[in-house]
Structure 1
Amino acid sequence: MRLKVKVKDYDLGISIIKLDVPEESTVSFLLGKLLEKRLIFDSYLPQLNTMGYTYVEMHHLKINTLFHGKEKVIIKSDRVELTLTQKLPEEGRKAGQLLLDYSQLVNVIDKFKDEEIDPEKVYGTVFYIQQEKQQYLVRYEEHGFEFYHFKLQYQNAFKDEDRFPFLILELKTKDELSKSELKWIRTIMYPSKDRKNPIIHLEVSKLNQGILDELSTLVHRVMVVIGRFTRTKTALEANGKLPSYVQLNQKNSIGFVNLDQLERIVKQQ
């Protein structure tokens, strides 16, 4: 992964450096490189933040999870501002996407939207999804699905604004698609006039078949939860609880999970 890092030290001025870092590098690894080159100092670290993450929350995150399909990420404090830039050639981006099979994701979105009865009652709902050891919070909004790491982004998922999920599955109508998006959508499906056209916001170099399949599964889990609650005439909102789908030891359960239980788990990390 090639990064351009602009370091704006409010006392010492601006420095720009280009770094090649391994694909799985963490924010801590990057900051270590900047410390080695004396572009930042240890005293700067505790106050650093980005997109709602504190230093404690972000330093062990993989750098690529911060981009969300964007080219730039800003990490800052009251003493320094770091601007990370990563650019991928358009040809490489399209080629990488075309090699993937989107059919499962397209089908589950189509089924999900077809089965929606009263979506406005669901918008803003946060779902707890557990698949064995993998835990997620999935927030459903009019624009689509927002995916959060359970332990690392727990509080982020509940904000009314300025949320920064690690991945967004945006659903657009045909009229909302840009020209480039429309051209790309036509490579995976016939563009829908309804809000069914999937646009994935994630660093493209990290998008692979496993992530696509996981997305399909998570959307399906949310659909199953909504379907169960609808059939039993149970409201998705419950004081101190989240609607949930838990798969543990190959057994599935659908219902509610207590927020205080989830908060205890988060604090144990």
Structure 2
Amino acid sequence: MKLKVKVRDYESGISIIKVDVPAESTVDLLLNKLVQEDLIFNAYLPHIKTMGYTYGEFHNLKTSSLFHGKEKVTLSSDKVEITVTQKKSEEGHKAGQVLLDYSQLVNVIDKFKEQESGSHVEYGTVFFVQQEKHQYLIRYEEHGFELYHFKLQYENAFKEEDRFPFLILELKTKSELTSSELKWIRTIMFPSKERKNPIIHLEVSKLNQGIIDELATLVHRVMVIVGKFQVSKKSLEAAGKLPSYVQLNEKNSIGFVEMEQLKRIVEA
């Protein structure tokens, strides 16, 4: 990993250095390099925090997991501020395998959760999203997002129990992750104490980059709907209607769609 590190020592000033670290290396290795270069003191380390985590919680994690779908991360204490910027590699392969990129998905989940805290989206809310010819029902629950094929699974999306979505984007807190899930999450992001760690359950086909990118887009569409209603101070709930995002012929509209209209399309 090629990194640019800016160190702001509140007593001695600012230094900038370029660092190369192995992709599998830990944060400890990076920080120790800064100590060796006399950019920070060893005594600073125990007091450094990032994203609410203490040094004891993050120092053994992979450096790559810190970025959480972003290019820049800041670690700080009352003595120093360290800004680490990652230069994205153009290589998409490792050990002969295509690496799946979760950065967009991780990023949009992070933004949605920030938005959710001020928008009060009710669990059980169903959204209608159309991307040209592709139509989905997306149900938001405490555990995450449930995706349904519009025509094939219309009634399923509204059941109170025994629902069978074709894909579930489960969002877990760090404490809810199994040991194997936690190990995997650390390969794509810094594990979050909040309900932001994505676990994808896909029933039909093998997970690929196209599915991950489409999932990120659909979560973003839901975020846009919620944001639009929030700005206009309208409730997402209305009798006989679903909040919707429709993109057709490269034009989009956001608002409500009548459920009776959707039923007629399903039954046609």
Same fold (TM over 0.5): yes
1 CA distance for matches of 2:243 and 2:149? 17
Aligned-pair distance for 1:117? 2.7
Per-residue Cα deviation, 1:141-171 (whole angstroms, up to 9, x for no partner): 1100000000000000000111000000000
Q: Work out whether residues 96 and 205 of structure 1, in 8 Å CA contact, stay in contact via their aligned partners in 2.
A: no
1 CA distance for matches of 2:177 and 2:135? 31
Aligned to 1:193: 193
Label 1:204 to 1:156 Cα distance change in 2 as closer, same or farther (>3 A).
closer
Matched, 1:155 2:155: yes
Aligned to 1:216: 216
2 CA distance for matches of 1:211 and 1:185? 18
- Matched position secondary structure for 1:242: strand
1 CA distance for matches of 2:159 and 2:169? 18
Q: Which amino acid aligns with 1:180?
A: S
Aligned to 1:50: none
Aligned-pair distance for 1:181? 0.2
Q: Work out whether residues 123 and 140 of structure 2, in 8 Å CA contact, stay in contact via their aligned partners in 1.
A: yes
Aligned to 1:143: 143
1 CA distance for matches of 2:207 and 2:241? 32
2 CA distance for matches of 1:137 and 1:205? 19
2 CA distance for matches of 1:141 and 1:133? 26
Instruction: Tell me the TM-score normalised to structure 1 length.
Output: 0.62
1 CA distance for matches of 2:145 and 2:202? 13
Aligned to 1:236: 236
Aligned-pair distance for 1:119? 6.2
Q: Which amino acid aligns with 1:162?
A: D
Aligned-pair distance for 1:205? 5.8
Q: Work out whether residues 245 and 255 of structure 2, in 8 Å CA contact, stay in contact via their aligned partners in 1.
A: yes
2 CA distance for matches of 1:144 and 1:127? 13
2 CA distance for matches of 1:169 and 1:97? 24
Q: Work out whether residues 143 and 171 of structure 2, in 8 Å CA contact, stay in contact via their aligned partners in 1.
A: yes
Aligned to 2:226: 226
- Matched position secondary structure for 2:200: strand
- Matched position secondary structure for 1:122: coil
Larger Rg: 2
Higher alpha-carbon deviation: 222-231 or 117-126 = 117-126
Aligned-pair distance for 1:103? 0.5
Alignment of 1:251-266 (within 5 A): 251-266=251-266
2 CA distance for matches of 1:119 and 1:185? 27
Q: Unmatched 5+ residue regions in structure 2? A: 1-94
Label 1:204 to 1:104 Cα distance change in 2 as closer, same or farther (>3 A).
farther
1 CA distance for matches of 2:164 and 2:249? 31
Give the 4+ runs in structure 1 shifted more than 6 A. 95-98
Q: Which amino acid aligns with 1:115?
A: Q
Aligned-pair distance for 1:122? 2.2
Q: Which amino acid aligns with 2:267?
A: K
Q: Which amino acid aligns with 1:202?
A: L
RMSD (CA atoms): 1.9
Aligned residue pair count:
174
Instruction: Tell me the TM-score normalised to structure 2 length.
Output: 0.62
Per-residue Cα deviation, 1:180-221 (whole angstroms, up to 9, x for no partner): 000000000010000000000015961000000000000000
Q: Which amino acid aligns with 1:267?
A: E
2 CA distance for matches of 1:204 and 1:251? 30
Q: Work out whether residues 136 and 149 of structure 2, in 8 Å CA contact, stay in contact via their aligned partners in 1.
A: yes
